[in-house]
């Protein structure tokens, strides 16, 4: 892998708090406002068990990410690691498919944001979506330390709001409403797991800025583990409170589960508090998404997988400004995609699972074929431990990918077409760059 020259190094100014807030901040977002209702439909109060089960693959993914981050921290990690430790084509295809995933995620977040804001204000849908997208990318344009600081502030505000809901609501909950937890049966609980996994997606966001983290070998693994634990605690408390206030049947029958539950302890304050929390969480997730998207494009440009324009770093802010601008443009173009959340969420989820699978396999290949990197890793895990974590993580990713086919097959078709375009681009680029014999 080509090492960045001093003129191309990114500024290292993100600490442990920033890593935790980027990781947990990217996960604790819009899902808490949207997943509880369909999860309650499928499993009732069993969604609590499904949530715990869903942490298993996410812990596996995050563990592989933490190990890789301690061994080889780098920006655009989900592209760089498969490129180096599996094959350059695999790294390219993962990043290529994630372009669709990132655009889809930008549209999902901005669309849901407008839906919540529209409960209080009469806003034009698409212009408001464009404004939210622009704000998120602008924060990253002017420096990751600024984006990290904003992420920390937004995360703190969201936790305050969710804490207010939890601490005022918990004393008013009834265990009779939650029982029986396994009333829908274990089959329903297992079927609910793929839904609950979406609560934790994005937990590894901080690894994407590995080169911009202070003391990354120690900071990254600690930050990711803390981000997983923080996410589980927050989601678990919110879910228990919501179930104990209105019960699984009422939760399953509303499109605004947290708002309905919050009306009991918060009364007339419920609407502004929940709308405010939704706005904060979605903008926070957009912020983390803009960062990860742009760094992935930057990494591809630096290695020659995309044109060199993606590789330019701003002389003042030290950020990959062209990758940020192009990512912003792609996000704005995505506003004109069909506004079908099921379609968009699957288009986001499939490449994300492929990314997790590739990075898990990268961890196994690192310990097998690069003992010098394994020896220098900040996490001193044994070879067999990393192998088991990687293989189990890859298997979990395959299961989650296959589970979505019955919901909507169209995203699989879209991604297949985009993959074919990527293969053609890769072949043409490889042919152009192939050394010619004199």
Residue 418 has pLDDT above 90, yes or no: yes
Percent of the chain residues past pLDDT 90, beyond the cut: 20
The stretch 396-406 carries a mean pLDDT of 80
pLDDT of residue 13: 66
Q: Is pLDDT at 252 greater than 80 in this prediction?
A: yes
Residue 1 predicted with pLDDT over 50: no
Q: Which of 1.20.1740.10, 3.40.390.10, 1.10.3720.10, 3.40.50.1370 is the CATH number of 13-431? A: 1.20.1740.10
Domain residue ranges of the chain, discontinuous segments joined by +: 13-431
pLDDT reported for residue 7: 36
DSSP 3-state of 326: helix
The alpha carbon dihedral of 399, 402, 407, 408 has a sign of positive
DSSP lists the bridge partners of residue 209 as 75
Alpha-helical (H) ranges within 254-320 are 257-266, 270-302
Q: How far is CA 32 from the centre of its chain?
A: 13
Q: Is the pLDDT of residue 289 over 70?
A: yes
Residue with tokens 């942490």: 55
Angle formed at CA 383 by CA 85 and CA 201, multiple of 5 degrees: 60
Average pLDDT over residues 307-326: 79
- Report helix, strand or coil for 182: coil
For residue 193, pLDDT beyond 90 = no
- What pLDDT is recorded for position 41? 82
Residue with tokens 């502030």: 153
- Give the pLDDT band (50/70/90) at residue 131: very high
In the numeric block, the tokens 């990197």 are attached to 373
- Please check whether residue 31 is in contact with residue 285, taking contact to mean a CB–CB distance below 8 angstroms: no
At 337-391, the pLDDT tens digits run 777 666 777 788 889 889 999 999 999 999 999 999 998 887 778 899 899 999 9
Is the CB of residue 278 less than 8 Å from the CB of residue 262? no
Separation CA 423–CA 113 (nearest Å): 35
């Amino acid at each position: 892998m080509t090492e960045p020259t001093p003129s191309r190094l990114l500024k290292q100014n993100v600490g442990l708090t920033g890593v935790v807030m980027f990781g947990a901040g990217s996960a604790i977002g819009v899902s808490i406002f949207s997943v509880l209702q369909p999860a309650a439909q499928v499993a009732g109060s069993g969604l609590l068990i499904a949530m715990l089960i869903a942490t298993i693959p996410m812990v596996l993914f995050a563990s592989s990410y933490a190990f890789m981050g301690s061994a080889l921290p780098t920006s655009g990690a989900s592209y760089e690691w498969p490129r180096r430790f599996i094959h350059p084509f695999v790294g390219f295809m993962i990043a290529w498919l994630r372009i669709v995933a990132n655009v889809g995620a930008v549209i999902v977040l901005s669309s849901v944001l407008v839906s919540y804001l529209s409960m209080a204000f009469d806003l034009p849908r698409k212009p408001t979506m464009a404004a939210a997208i622009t704000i998120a990318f602008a924060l990253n344009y002017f420096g990751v330390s600024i984006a990290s600081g904003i992420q920390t502030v937004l995360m703190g505000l969201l936790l305050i709001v969710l804490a207010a809901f939890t601490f005022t609501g918990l004393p008013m909950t009834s265990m009779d409403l939650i029982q029986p937890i396994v009333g829908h049966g274990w089959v329903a609980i297992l079927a609910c797991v793929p839904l609950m996994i979406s609560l934790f997606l994005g937990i590894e966001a901080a690894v994407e800025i590995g080169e911009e983290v202070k003391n990354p070998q120690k900071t990254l693994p600690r930050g990711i583990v803390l981000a997983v634990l923080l996410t589980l605690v927050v989601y678990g408390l919110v879910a228990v409170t919501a179930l104990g206030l209105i019960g699984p049947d009422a939760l399953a029958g509303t499109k605004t589960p947290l708002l309905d539950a919050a009306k009991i302890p918060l009364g007339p304050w419920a609407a502004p508090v929940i709308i405010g929390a939704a706005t904060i969480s979605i903008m926070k997730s957009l912020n983390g998404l803009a960062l990860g998207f742009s760094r992935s494009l930057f990494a591809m440009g630096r290695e020659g997988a995309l044109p060199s324009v993606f590789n330019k770093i701003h002389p003042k802010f030290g950020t990959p400004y062209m990758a940020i601008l192009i990512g912003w443009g792609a996000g704005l173009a995505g506003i004109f995609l069909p506004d079908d959340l099921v379609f968009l969420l699957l288009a986001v989820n499939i490449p994300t699972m492929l990314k997790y699978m590739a990075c898990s396999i990268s961890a196994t290949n690192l310990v097998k074929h690069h003992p010098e990197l394994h020896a220098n890793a900040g996490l001193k895990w044994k070879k067999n431990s990393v192998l088991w974590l990687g293989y189990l993580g890859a298997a979990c990713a395959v299961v989650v990918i296959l589970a979505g086919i019955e919901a909507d097959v169209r995203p699989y078709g879209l991604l297949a077409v985009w993959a074919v375009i990527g293969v053609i681009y890769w072949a043409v680029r490889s042919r152009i760059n192939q050394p010619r014999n004199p």
